[in-house]
Amino acid sequence: MRDVETFSHDEVKIIELGGCVGNWFEIEFVMNVLKYCHKLQQIIVGPYWRESDTLDWNSYHLWFQSGRRRMSQKLQDKEIVGLEKLVLV
């Protein structure tokens, strides 16, 4: 197991996390990205994803009610540097 603090994440500028429904591991991922990607400009989290063989966008309808609220509450309860870079779609 490697320590993520030893790696440079300076090339990461924008991350889009699709198909997100507010699970604990998605929240942890967002917190770690904000913590370790110092040059990050924006991280976009939303319920939408696109299948590789179509141009249609799919989504988890429950995101708008519970997932987005849960993620927002969990992240607001903590002192997170760079939280202003997070966009919840």
Per-residue pLDDT band for 65 (boundaries 50, 70, 90) equals low
What is the torsional sign of CA 43, 59, 27, 74?
A: positive
Residue 53 has pLDDT above 80, yes or no: no
Residue 68: per-residue pLDDT: 78
pLDDT for residue 70 is more than 70:
yes
Distance CA 62, CA 32 (A): 25
pTM of the predicted model as reported, rounded to 2 decimal places: 0.70
Task: Give pLDDT tens digits for 16-44.
Answer: 888 787 888 988 888 888 888 888 889 88
